[in-house]
Structure 1
Amino acid sequence: MERILHCIVAFVLLSSCSKDAPQADGMEDTQGYDWGNHIPFVTSYNTFGMPYTDRYESLPLPKGSVSMSEASGIAYSVRNPGKIWAHNDSGNPNILFLLDEHNGEIAARYQVNGTANLDWEDVEVAVGPDEGKSYLYISDTGDNDERRTNYSIYRFEEPLFEASHQGQLVRISTIAVDRIQFNYPDGSHDTEAMFVDPFTKDIFLTTKRDRVSMLYVLPYPQQTDGSSTCYKAGEFSFREASAATCSKDGLRVLIKNRQDIFYWERSANETMVQLLARTPVKAPYSGEPQGEAVCFDAENNYFTLSEQANFDAWPILYNYLLKN
């Protein structure tokens, strides 16, 4: 009887989701979850010798060089198929680069009023507050010295590429920008990995410089007036997370550090926290000079991109293909 009631609750929650959020039979929506009483999970697994998923081809396709020196985040565009959003991190202006997925060339650059790049570390394209709209989320959460007392995530409707934008710097002042300001419940953290759960619209953040990478969450609806405190969701068994992404259907998650990409597949009736509390497998990854960016495309293939680091050549955009 308890399991039957659980399934009924899950069905009702899913039925109340917004129409633009993905739907899957049996998948749970955790809006209304009591995060204040959440007990963070703690994992214990050895990443050495961890098996690889057999879902993907083992070697990537090099798509082309990308003329960006400090690429820190990438996200596959929904409004502009065949294009990938990218950005540099601290010390660079608040500019978004729109890349051609086929050759890595920069189609256009965009500067959105109401944003500032203190230390942009990751970007995600996902659903948001309004039905039928695709949003960019930019995490201004880098903190190498772990001294910041406040962090920001910018959220705004994804810009639409037009032919006249080709090769241009496009300044946009007409898009409404939400600034989600927050702090951590246990001090400052350097966070380079962020993704959005499309089922719940919760924002998940994974830290880099702690003893192990820790998972925090900003539940939906996020506060855009003033600052809020995120919740600790759990602890991973790996360190130095530098990028993360969730597939558009909400069923796959990647979190990478400099050496590896960790991969999870979501089961029915499984929340995001339950998923990430499980032991992952590795996804194929060919070493990069300083790889800090990963994203899924619309078909669940994934891309990676590195910073230029100390190399003379521009970094390469790599594409890992899902097996047929």
Structure 2
Amino acid sequence: MPEPTDPKAGESSYNDALDLGILENTRLTESSGIAASRENPGYFWVTNDSDPQGPMLYLIDSLGKGKKEYLLSGATQRDWEDLAVVGEANGSATVYVADIGDNFLNNPNYVIYWFKDLKITSNSYTVLTDVKKLSFTLPDGFRDMETLLIDQKTKDIFIISKRENNKRLYKIPASQVVNGTNTIAEYVQDLSFSVPFTNDLKIQQAYYITGGCVSPDNTEILIRNYIGIYYWKRKAGESIPEALLRTAKAVPYKLEPQGEGVSYSHNGSGYYTISESPDLSPTHLYYFKKK
């Protein structure tokens, strides 16, 4: 497969995968999103895309240990696919949850939830009551989506479709991210990476876009599919859409059963990946350290 380009070709500034271990919380069988907590350095928020326990997030440490569970009061978990954590000017941080999956292309609307990143406590189960919600639709119908990118400075939200040969980029400007409202996301552009080179269904599925993240310092972007990870280093003054029009570089990747989540560490020293477990085998946490 010609894409992503081989990171061993001298482009990558990251080391190969370090297997940090198996997730201790056995409820994390459909791990679709991961994002590094700012209030708890070395810990990560993780979500299943669906969960029999309800609209839950989980907090794990950098070795995959921990069983802290958080119920988002008032939320509905239809198909949670990605997470993001964004730092605020006052030193706090906000956790965003993207309910944007749409396997059957029939969701009446998509939802972004957000809440304040909070310090871990001794409680194993916490109910989050101050959860905000934005509903949105797309200007061009229904899309299955799994990738959430948030500009760490402007707070603009970007979402990427999953299945098309040329994936589509949408934007919700920060000014429209208002609790309790509905909006229409803006179509920005088609994307020219992760394009399958054949009509073979299995190959096309390998190129589905399943997750992404922006580095804490806002200068790097990672977007993954099932077989690799694309990387962009943003230029000064360059927007996320402008960066994504440039040719991506490749960074190391460890093939996973159904790899969906990717997150930078809280300080940008490397990135982590996580997978769903379609065969219920243990889920591993992988780390790729910056050289």
Q: TM bucket by the smaller chain?
A: 0.7 to 0.9
Q: 1:214 aligns with which of 145, 151, 168?
A: 168
The aligned residue for residue 303 of structure 1 is 272
Which region of structure 1 is more displaced relative to structure 2, 270-279 or 251-260?
270-279
For 1:48 and 1:161, locate their aligned partners in 2 and report how far apart those are by CA, in whole Å. Answer: 40
The aligned residue for residue 75 of structure 2 is 115
Unaligned runs of 5+ in 2: 195-206
Q: 1:142 aligns with which of 101, 124, 132?
A: 101
The aligned residue for residue 228 of structure 1 is 183
| One-letter amino acid of the counterpart of residue 180, structure 2 | D
The alpha carbon displacement at 1:47 in A equals 5.1
After superposition, what is the alpha-carbon deviation per residue over 1:122-151, rounded to whole angstroms, capped at 9, x for unaligned? Answer: 0011135x7432000000011001111211
Q: 2:31 aligns with which of 52, 56, 71?
A: 71
For 2:219 and 2:81, locate their aligned partners in 1 and report how far apart those are by CA, in whole Å. Answer: 23
Structure 1 vs Structure 2 CA RMSD: 1.7
| One-letter amino acid of the counterpart of residue 62, structure 1 | D
After superposition, what is the alpha-carbon deviation per residue over 1:44-82, rounded to whole angstroms, capped at 9, x for unaligned? Answer: xx953624232101x211111013110000001100111
Question: Pairwise mapping of residues 157-196 of structure 1 onto structure 2 (< 5 A)?
Answer: 157-162=116-121, 164-165=122-123, 168-173=124-129, 176-196=130-150
After superposition, what is the alpha-carbon deviation per residue over 1:259-280, rounded to whole angstroms, capped at 9, x for unaligned? Answer: 1110000111212211111110
For 2:243 and 2:38, locate their aligned partners in 1 and report how far apart those are by CA, in whole Å. Answer: 25
The aligned residue for residue 37 of structure 1 is none
The alpha carbon displacement at 1:246 in A equals 0.3
Unaligned runs of 5+ in 1: 1-45
> Are the counterparts in 1 of residues 223 and 229 from structure 2 also a CA contact under 8 Å?
yes
For 1:224 and 1:136, locate their aligned partners in 2 and report how far apart those are by CA, in whole Å. Answer: 14
| One-letter amino acid of the counterpart of residue 179, structure 2 | T
Establish whether residue 127 from structure 1 lines up as the match of residue 81 from structure 2. Answer: no
> Are the counterparts in 1 of residues 49 and 80 from structure 2 also a CA contact under 8 Å?
yes
Establish whether residue 275 from structure 1 lines up as the match of residue 275 from structure 2. Answer: no
The alpha carbon displacement at 1:91 in A equals 4.6
| One-letter amino acid of the counterpart of residue 150, structure 1 | N
Aligned pair in 2 of structure 1 residues 47, 154: CA closer, same or farther (>3 Å)? Answer: farther
Task: Write out the 4+ residue segments of structure 1 that deviate beyond 6 Å after TM superposition.
Answer: none
For 1:180 and 1:123, locate their aligned partners in 2 and report how far apart those are by CA, in whole Å. Answer: 15
For 1:271 and 1:94, locate their aligned partners in 2 and report how far apart those are by CA, in whole Å. Answer: 32
Give the aligned length. 269
> Are the counterparts in 2 of residues 91 and 118 from structure 1 also a CA contact under 8 Å?
no
For 2:268 and 2:184, locate their aligned partners in 1 and report how far apart those are by CA, in whole Å. Answer: 35
Q: 1:152 aligns with which of 105, 111, 115?
A: 111
After superposition, what is the alpha-carbon deviation per residue over 1:183-209, rounded to whole angstroms, capped at 9, x for unaligned? Answer: 000001111010210121001101112
For 2:218 and 2:255, locate their aligned partners in 1 and report how far apart those are by CA, in whole Å. Answer: 27
> Are the counterparts in 1 of residues 217 and 268 from structure 2 also a CA contact under 8 Å?
no
Indicate the SS of the match to 1:305.
strand
Q: 1:90 aligns with which of 50, 66, 71?
A: 50
> Are the counterparts in 1 of residues 4 and 229 from structure 2 also a CA contact under 8 Å?
no
The alpha carbon displacement at 1:211 in A equals 2.9
For 1:190 and 1:54, locate their aligned partners in 2 and report how far apart those are by CA, in whole Å. Answer: 30
| One-letter amino acid of the counterpart of residue 99, structure 1 | I
TM-score by length of 2: 0.88
For 2:56 and 2:3, locate their aligned partners in 1 and report how far apart those are by CA, in whole Å. Answer: 38
Structure with greater Cα Rg:
1
Establish whether residue 248 from structure 1 lines up as the match of residue 209 from structure 2. Answer: no
The aligned residue for residue 42 of structure 1 is none
Aligned pair in 2 of structure 1 residues 49, 243: CA closer, same or farther (>3 Å)? Answer: closer
Could you say which structure has the higher strand fraction? 2
